[in-house]
Amino acid sequence: MIGLISATAAGTAARDRLAAAWPDRTRVYEGPVGDAVRAAFAECEQLVCFLATGAVVRLLAPLLGDKTTDPGVVCVDEGGRFAVSLVGGHGGGANELAAEVGELLGAQPVVTTATDATGLAGLDTLGLPVEGAVAAVSRALLDGEPVVLDTEVSWPLPPLPVAAEGSHVIRVTDRAVQPAEHEVLLRPPSLVVGVGASKGAPVEEVLELIQEALRDAGLSVRSVAELATVDAKSAEPGIVRAAERLGVPLVTRSAEELAAVEVPNPSDAPLAAVGTPSVAEAAALAGGGELLVPKRKSARADGHASMATCAVVRRPARGRLAVVGLGPGARDLLTPRAKAELRRASVLVGLDQYVDQIRDLLRPGTRILESGLGAEEERARTAVAEAGKGLAVALIGSGDAGVYAMASPALAEASDDIDVIGVPGVTAALAAGAILGAPLGHDHVSISLSDLHTPWEVIERRVRAAAEADLVVTFYNPRSRGRDWQLPKALAILAEHREPTTPVGVVRNASRPDESSRLTTLAALDPATVDMMTVVTVGNTATRDIAGRMVTPRGYRWQEAAS
């Protein structure tokens, strides 16, 4: 919840805009400002104060405790020009909140946290539990000193400018070790604890068993990602409460699924009780991984039989492949989600000219794998292979990465051992359509005239079908030096079903500085004026030139009236 506090009429107006935009996220605090700040600080995760920063500093000073628990606080000035991240930039999320507030109010976000100001990924913002010399190692990164990344467990981290040797270390480990003097430990959620329990097993017995198993194996409880058990035990109080106390989800699977998992220590007892010869080991291993702690039973001081079992598995690291559409070229048509994924990836794969478009957005330490034209399959294989190593990878393409771009070849290569995130982008057809007017106002189709990957016979059949169906057609890859006859042939097919006066829009380098466009007709278009940087949109029988704009009506009543 975000607490909103204001003192003046201008501040109240801006406050109310936030409250209206985020009704489920915000709470307005009225009354004396001091009382409002104190109440919001105690009750909310974040605050936005429409007050002078000095006043907020004085009010907050006696309330501040620790940066890991204090709310994030953002101040907005009287003129609504700046949204300042004042307290809790990382831990409280104030940096991100300042950006959100700035976008909504048209204010400039101001971030003073050193790592954010320089584009570095903050070690306490990676989404992993962190221990050790965070300030010292962060300072070394900021000062350009060599910092070593020691990945005992692979995990898809954001980019970090690291070296092969150095006195400062970032160590990714699930081992129960203490950080050295100049070392930061990052705890990946790599451990799955399988749990079985008799009816009525006390939560203390379940927790003690888990903690002993981890301690004896030298594993950190902070790397436990989930507890896993059989469906029949999904409501067993001891297991449910153990998961709650550990702060991890409880994942359950059917007895049939667990019975199919090969385990080293099957037993007749769980088979008779819940229908599977293994609960703890099978539940832990069901998602794959390395069995670190075989099934063990709880020990009871009262001499009664054990009521709980557990096993621990290190699950395989899943790489992260973001397939990112960059849009048609203009920076303001690059989506916020695409920007976030570019900064999230430690490896960027793409065509060299597309890499150049967004190179300034990348974080320090991003490894760039770029290549020239005609290497789409190679780039796709490279991106998938890098993600298969457990890394965070961004594979970029122009427009929308799923339209005549990199998503298709990448997903054809990818197996289910990596996470794939699709990031949509503004396609060339949409960018050109916006420039021309509204040519795609009704049913439309996009067809590539490149026969490098598709036989011309197939392309021609599709053009003919679109012509007969009276669809607006956008031609991608219309003409190159080596392919100069396909566009005239496609236009001739359309001309068999459409009037010579049918509007045709031609847009070159849509949204880029050298953008050009013109509206012509099917009869007047000269294919020699078209190249590979051009998109050609041919209207249907209802499309009209209205005030110099290409318009396809949403319905056909207008067409019938016109005829």
Residue 563 has pLDDT above 60, yes or no: no
Q: In angstroms, what CA-CA distances link 117 with 95, 113, 122? A: 10, 6, 10
* DSSP structure class, residue 424: -
Residues 464, 132: Cα–Cα separation, whole Å:
67
AA letter at 356: D
Q: How confident is the model at residue 456 (pLDDT cuts 50, 70, 90)?
A: very high
Residues 283, 250: Cα–Cα separation, whole Å:
11
Q: Which residues on adjacent β-strands are paired with residue 408?
A: none
Residues 255, 408: Cα–Cα separation, whole Å:
37
Q: What is the pLDDT of residues 24-47, one digit of tens each?
A: 999 999 989 999 999 999 999 999
Nearest to 441 by CA among 537, 332, 334, 333: 537
Nearest to 375 by CA among 404, 350, 403: 350
H or E stretch including 230? strand 224-230
Q: How confident is the model at residue 114 (pLDDT cuts 50, 70, 90)?
A: low
Question: What is the phi/psi pair of residue 449, to 5°?
Answer: -95, 5
For the question of whether the overall pTM of this predicted structure is more than 0.75, the answer is yes
Instruction: Write the Ramachandran bin of 464: left for phi over 0, alpha for psi from -120 to 50, otherwise beta.
Output: alpha
Question: What is the phi/psi pair of residue 61, to 5°?
Answer: -50, -50
With beta carbons less than 8 A apart as the criterion, state whether 365 and 161 touch: yes
Tokens of 539: 């209207």
Q: What is the mean pLDDT of residues 218-232?
A: 96
How many other CB atoms are there within 10 angstroms of residue 392's CB atom?
A: 23
Per-residue pLDDT, 553: 93
With beta carbons less than 8 A apart as the criterion, state whether 191 and 315 touch: yes
Residues 105, 202: Cα–Cα separation, whole Å:
53
Per-residue pLDDT, 116: 66
Per-residue pLDDT, 308: 93
Q: How confident is the model at residue 561 (pLDDT cuts 50, 70, 90)?
A: very low
- Chain position carrying tokens 């699709």: 422
What average pLDDT does the chain have? 91
Coil vs helix vs strand at 129:
coil
Strands (E), 289-424: 290-297, 308-314, 319-325, 347-351, 367-371, 392-397, 418-423
Q: What is the mean pLDDT of residues 141-166?
A: 89
Exposed/middle/buried for residue 393 (C-beta within 10 Å: 0-12, 13-18, 19+):
buried
Residues 486, 477: Cα–Cα separation, whole Å:
10
Q: How confident is the model at residue 317 (pLDDT cuts 50, 70, 90)?
A: confident
Q: Which residues contact 11 (CB under 8 A, 6 or more apart)?
A: 50, 51, 76, 78
Rg (CA), the chain: 30
Q: What is the pLDDT of residues 299-311, one digit of tens each?
A: 765 666 688 999 9
Q: What b-and-e string marks burial along 310-337, b requiring 16 or more CB atoms within 10 Å of the CB?
A: bbbbbbebbbbbbbbbbbbbbeebbbee
Chain centroid offset of residue 141 CA: 25
How many other CB atoms are there within 10 angstroms of residue 371's CB atom?
A: 15
With beta carbons less than 8 A apart as the criterion, state whether 101 and 81 touch: no
Residues 364, 135: Cα–Cα separation, whole Å:
18
Tokens of 494: 């359309």
Structural domains of the chain in order of their starting residue, each with its CATH number: 2-112 (3.40.50.11220), 127-186 (no CATH), 194-214+223-314 (3.30.420.180), 319-426 (3.40.1010.10), 429-562 (3.30.950.10)
Question: What is the phi/psi pair of residue 249, to 5°?
Answer: -75, 155
Coil vs helix vs strand at 27:
strand
With beta carbons less than 8 A apart as the criterion, state whether 132 and 181 touch: no
Share of the chain above pLDDT 90, in %: 71
- Ranking 374-378, 507-511, 546-550 by mean pLDDT, the lowest is 374-378
Q: Do the strands 347-351 and 392-397 form a parallel or antiparallel pair, or are they unpaired?
A: parallel
Question: What is the phi/psi pair of residue 324, to 5°?
Answer: -110, 125
Residue 524 has pLDDT above 70, yes or no: yes
Residue 348 has pLDDT above 90, yes or no: yes
Coil vs helix vs strand at 91:
coil
Per-residue pLDDT, 115: 67
Q: What is the pLDDT of residues 530-545, one digit of tens each?
A: 999 999 999 999 999 9
With beta carbons less than 8 A apart as the criterion, state whether 277 and 294 touch: no
With beta carbons less than 8 A apart as the criterion, state whether 498 and 468 touch: no
Sign of torsion, CA 262 268 270 273? positive
Nearest to 89 by CA among 64, 102, 70, 63: 70
Please state the length of the chain.
563
Q: In what order do the strands lie in the sheet with 347-351?
A: 367-371, 347-351, 392-397, 319-325, 418-423
Residues 481, 483: Cα–Cα separation, whole Å:
6
